[in-house]
Structure 1
Amino acid sequence: MQQIMLVEDEAALVTAIRERFEAEGFAVTTAASGEVALHLLDTVTPELFVIDLGLPGMDGFELLRQLRTRLIDAPVIILTARGDEIDRVVGLELGADDYMVKPFSLRELVARVRVLFRRMAAVAALRAQVAEQPAAPAARTELSLDPVRRSIALHDQHLVLRPREFALFELLFRHPGQVFTREALLRQVWGQGAFFDTRTVDVHIRRLRTRLATLDPELAERLQTEWGVGYRFV
Structure 2
Amino acid sequence: MTVVLLAEDDEAIAAPLSRALGREGYAVTVERSGPVVLEQALAGEHDLLILDLGLPGMDGLEVCRQVRAAGSDLAVLMLTARTDEVDFVVGLDAGADDYVGKPFRLAELMARVRALLRRSATGEDGVVEVRGIRLEPAARRVLLNGTEIGLANKEYELLKVLIDRAGQVVPRETILREVWGDAELRGSKTLDMHMSWLRRKIGDEGPVAERRIATIRGVGFRLNTD
Gaps of 5+ in 2: 130-135, 140-144, 152-158, 165-177, 179-226
| Amino acid corresponding to residue 27 of structure 2 in structure 1 | A
Tell me what 1:192 maps to.
Answer: 160
Matches within 5 A, 1:51-62: 51-62=51-62
| Amino acid corresponding to residue 79 of structure 2 in structure 1 | L
Tell me what 2:26 maps to.
Answer: 26
CA drift of 1:116 comes to 1.2
CA drift of 1:73 comes to 1.1
* Distance (Å, rounded) in 2 between the aligned partners of 1:39 and 1:58: 12
CA drift of 1:39 comes to 2.2
TM-score using structure 1 length: 0.54
Q: Is the contact between residue 42 and residue 72 of structure 2 (CA under 8 Å) also seen in structure 1?
A: no
Relative to structure 1, the CA distance from residue 115 to residue 128 in structure 2 (aligned partners, 3 Å threshold; closer, same or farther) is closer
Gaps of 5+ in 1: 130-163, 169-177, 185-190, 196-234
What are the superposed Cα offsets for residues 8-64 of structure 1, whole Å, 9 maximum, x if unpaired?
110121111111100110011111011011222465521111101111121110001
| Amino acid corresponding to residue 22 of structure 1 in structure 2 | G
Tell me what 1:69 maps to.
Answer: 69
Tell me what 2:186 maps to.
Answer: none
* Distance (Å, rounded) in 1 between the aligned partners of 2:21 and 2:126: 28
Tell me what 1:13 maps to.
Answer: 13
Relative to structure 1, the CA distance from residue 182 to residue 48 in structure 2 (aligned partners, 3 Å threshold; closer, same or farther) is farther
Q: Is the contact between residue 8 and residue 52 of structure 1 (CA under 8 Å) also seen in structure 2?
A: yes
Tell me what 2:148 maps to.
Answer: 181
Matches within 5 A, 1:1-234: 1-41=1-41, 43=43, 45-124=45-124, 181=148, 192=160
What are the superposed Cα offsets for residues 65-89 of structure 1, whole Å, 9 maximum, x if unpaired?
0110011112211111110111111
Question: Secondary structure in 2 aligned to 1:192?
Answer: helix
Tell me what 1:187 maps to.
Answer: none
TM-score using structure 2 length: 0.56
* Distance (Å, rounded) in 1 between the aligned partners of 2:111 and 2:127: 24
| Amino acid corresponding to residue 65 of structure 1 in structure 2 | R
**RMSD between aligned alpha carbons?**
3.8
* Distance (Å, rounded) in 1 between the aligned partners of 2:106 and 2:127: 32
